[in-house]
Amino acid sequence: MKKTLSLFTLLFICFVLFSCASGTAFVTGKKRSSVNPDRISIYTEPPEDYEVIGIVTASSDSGFTDQGSLNYAIAELKKQAGKIGANGIILETISKSNSGGSFVGNVFVADSAQNVTGKAIYVLR
């Protein structure tokens, strides 16, 4: 029993470590110099004065919880926006997708991902 539990724990840790976030950026406006993702603000409503740079998307199946996966997806969204010079993102959609799952020993582990999309923007300050 203890050996089975250790194997399950090891496999679960490997699953979490090798899961990742991925994303894309599609430039529709004027691309700018890259920005550190820590300096990018998230908006649910558009700010007063901004320019749209592009559309960014991200997805993550990492994290122990849905919130953890969402946090990784948002971090990836910021990375993608930073690459094209955005200093803000207007969130458009947050969704969850299920892609089946796999058995680890006798336990079924469901595969699901948090998906986010938004407008990469440059806020004129």
What confidence tens digit (pLDDT) does each residue in 58-110 have? 999 877 788 888 999 999 999 999 999 999 999 999 988 876 666 667 665 55
Number of domains into which the chain is organized: 1
Distance of CA 67 to the CA centre of its chain: 11
Asked if pLDDT for residue 3 goes beyond 80, the answer is no
pLDDT in tens, 11-30: 455 444 445 789 999 999 99
pTM for this predicted structure: 0.75
Q: Which residue has the higher pLDDT, 47 or 6?
A: 47
Domain ranges, residue 76: 2-123
Q: Return d(Cα 23, Cα 112) in angstroms, integer.
A: 16
- Residue 94's domain is classified under what CATH number? 3.30.110.70
